[in-house]
With several copies, the nearest count.
Chain A
Amino acid sequence: MIKKVYAKIVSIEKIAKETMKMVLENEHISQFAKPGQFVHIKVADHTLRRPISIAETNVETNTFTILFKTVGSGTRRLASYEAGEYLDLLGPNGTGFPLDRVEENDVILLIGGGIGVPPVYFLAKELTRLNVNVHAILGFQSKDYVFYEEEFKQWNDVTIVTDDGSYGKKGFVTDYVHDINGIDRYFACGPLPMLKAVKEELEGVEGYLSFEERMGCGIGACYACVIPTNTKDKYKKICQDGPVLHANEVKL
């Protein structure tokens, strides 16, 4: 259930180039958030809230983590908040990665591109509860942007790819998906061109993609964030039906 809450900023730090990590305290979000869901954050001096994925929750400390890239004025303003301040946010919003069809011993591929890595991390952590085989491929622009390699390594086999080869392997995540054999299911989050390429490359494999779109309400009321689908309704709302959608139902 989505609630409007005030979450206290526990810590905020820069963890890679243009990339901030913020830990927030709020019981509702930390108890109920599922991987793939997001919070819709009110940022001072801005009309519209900003959607940011939940990267981790901790039910013991009632905290949750978000990671964000400072790309424009809203995320830059968000980066200027300090520990101890409160953020007004809605959450948890949207529908996350579906885990109900995951079966024991499945080979699962996680793909994260840039700031698409955080929700995939949350998913990776959740998947450790199930007895499955998880492989992660994470793509970044270049060395300076890489984050969370160690965090992933706790749980999974992980391959880091950079566009320019300045760290890990060189190229795009799609160049390495075939290194993993017998993939039963994949989950991906990242920029649209990456999602398109992943869908094509893994044609035939059951997959779920997490999408981004500019949002108004963030809760399904304004029709700002639709994506065309081949389902009965012909579209889905990314903020409500998504951000995670079945790769085969979306028209890319």
Chain B
Amino acid sequence: MIDLSVSLPGLELKNPVMPASGCFGFGREYSQFYDLSVLGAVIMKAATGTERLGNPTPRVAETASGMLNAIGLQNPGVDRIIAEEIPFLRQFHIPIIANVAGSTVEEYEEVAKKLSKVEDLAAIELNISCPNVKEGGIQFGIDPDMAAEVTKRVKAVTSVPVYVKLSPNVTDIVQMAKAIEAAGADGLTMINTLTGMKIDLKTKKPLIANKTGGLSGPAIKPVAIRMIYEVRKHTSLPIIGMGGIQTAEDVLEFLLAGANAVAVGTANFQNPYVCPEIIQHLPIVLERYGFHSVKEATGGAHR
């Protein structure tokens, strides 16, 4: 028997596979296809203090082995997520992770505070790739001091474990991870999308209305693996890895690089069954490569 279970702060996972934030809504749509209780956990779409309507469309574009998105954090606001979405997800008895976003440190605090009052919320994922309106639009996620500050402030107001989601658009990912570790985070999730652009030859304008968008999908997997490998070498925080995962073999590659668990984003759009299929296939792949458990594979490339 291959042991797929993983214990991380706040997360008792029966398997290490969960849908990534923003690629699964609040689970309703995918629950048409399968029983979500097979998932290791679920990460919800970003929550902000109040409702957000997001960016103008087009919001997505296709690229080679990837896609760009600039949804712009559209969500009904934390109160309605708590009132309407979490109760729906609760029925599947899997750990629920809330993705928290904001334009100011205060907004992060407010959202996190409200969410941590939800009885059975397993963890918070801090989405620090949002532009900080107060600091002139600079992202929290690319400045180690700002990232540490928001981590510290959110940790102070919440009782649930806090995972901070790293942006790959930085010169030194290890420096970011260390600053966030020192600020008291319980874990890391990585990577968020790489900033990219596509230009429409017909209109001669950036195809995405927001001009730039976040690149996701298999195209970015080598960058994700590299960053997880580097961060694993220099911090001891648990890592939920993501970026281009499509198969159980990809999951094993993330585990070897140092991830403790993984999230699957873009691949859900190609195949709504991708998460359960990976979960079913993972024990076979682990066994084929000589592992008895997910835990044993984690960090394997560092030994």
A: which residues have CB within 8 A of B?
A: 1-2, 4, 42, 46-49, 74, 90, 213-228, 234-235, 240
**Are B272 and A90 in contact, with the CB atoms below 8 A?**
yes
- Which B residues, 41 to 73, have Cβ-Cβ distances below 8 Å to chain A? 45, 51, 53-54, 57-63, 65-67, 69, 71
Q: CB-CB < 8 A to A1: which residues of B?
A: 32
CB within 8 Å for A217 and B67 given contacts A4-B273, A224-B57: no
> Max chain B CB contacts within 10 Å: which of A214, A220, A228?
A214
Residue of B nearest to A74 (CB): B62
Q: Is B271 an interface residue (CB 8 A)?
A: yes
Task: Give 8 A-B pairs besides A48-B60, A219-B29, A222-B22 with Cβ atoms closer than 8 angstroms.
Answer: A4-B271, A46-B62, A216-B269, A221-B23, A222-B25, A223-B45, A224-B60, A240-B29
**Are B67 and A47 in contact, with the CB atoms below 8 A?**
yes
**What are the 9 tightest A-B residue pairs by CB atom distance, in nearest-first order?**
A221-B25, A221-B29, A214-B58, A224-B60, A223-B74, A219-B29, A217-B269, A220-B29, A216-B60
**Are A48 and B29 in contact, with the CB atoms below 8 A?**
no
Interface size on B, residues (CB 8 A): 34
Q: CB-CB < 8 A to A2: which residues of B?
A: 32-33
Q: CB-CB < 8 A to B269: which residues of A?
A: 47-49, 216-218, 222
- Cα distance A74–B64 in the bound complex, in angstroms: 12
Measured CB to CB, the closest approach of chain B to A215, in angstroms, equals 7
Measured CB to CB, the closest approach of chain A to B143, in angstroms, equals 27
Residue of B nearest to A238 (CB): B57
Among B25, B53, B266, point to the contact of A220 (Cβ < 8 A): B25
12 inter-chain pairs at a CB distance below 8 angstroms, sorted by A residue, are: A1-B32, A42-B270, A42-B271, A48-B60, A214-B59, A216-B59, A222-B71, A223-B22, A226-B54, A227-B57, A235-B53, A235-B74
Q: Is B88 an interface residue (CB 8 A)?
A: no
Q: CB-CB < 8 A to A235: which residues of B?
A: 53, 74
B: which residues have CB within 8 A of A?
A: 22-25, 28-30, 32-33, 45, 51, 53-54, 57-63, 65-67, 69, 71, 74, 217, 266, 268-273
- Cα distance A48–B217 in the bound complex, in angstroms: 10
Measured CB to CB, the closest approach of chain B to A115, in angstroms, equals 16
Q: CB-CB < 8 A to B51: which residues of A?
A: 234
Measured CB to CB, the closest approach of chain A to B236, in angstroms, equals 34
Q: CB-CB < 8 A to A46: which residues of B?
A: 62
CB within 8 Å for A224 and B24 given contacts A48-B62, A235-B53: no
Residue of A nearest to B65 (CB): A47
Q: CB-CB < 8 A to B58: which residues of A?
A: 213-214, 224
CB within 8 Å for A217 and B65 given contacts A2-B32, A226-B54: no
Among B32, B33, B59, B66, point to the contact of A223 (Cβ < 8 A): B59
CB within 8 Å for A226 and B57 given contacts A47-B270, A221-B29: yes
- Cα distance A46–B29 in the bound complex, in angstroms: 22
Measured CB to CB, the closest approach of chain A to B79, in angstroms, equals 15
**Are A224 and B71 in contact, with the CB atoms below 8 A?**
yes
Residue of B nearest to A1 (CB): B32
**Are A47 and B57 in contact, with the CB atoms below 8 A?**
no
CB within 8 Å for A221 and B24 given contacts A1-B32, A90-B272, A234-B53: yes
**Are A222 and B63 in contact, with the CB atoms below 8 A?**
no
**Are A49 and B270 in contact, with the CB atoms below 8 A?**
yes
**Are B66 and A47 in contact, with the CB atoms below 8 A?**
yes
Q: CB-CB < 8 A to B54: which residues of A?
A: 223, 226
Residue of A nearest to B26 (CB): A221
- Cα distance A46–B272 in the bound complex, in angstroms: 16
Measured CB to CB, the closest approach of chain A to B12, in angstroms, equals 26
**Are B29 and A213 in contact, with the CB atoms below 8 A?**
no
Measured CB to CB, the closest approach of chain A to B266, in angstroms, equals 7
**Are A216 and B69 in contact, with the CB atoms below 8 A?**
yes
Q: CB-CB < 8 A to A90: which residues of B?
A: 272
**Are A214 and B268 in contact, with the CB atoms below 8 A?**
no
**Are B217 and A47 in contact, with the CB atoms below 8 A?**
yes
**Are A47 and B62 in contact, with the CB atoms below 8 A?**
yes
Measured CB to CB, the closest approach of chain A to B284, in angstroms, equals 17
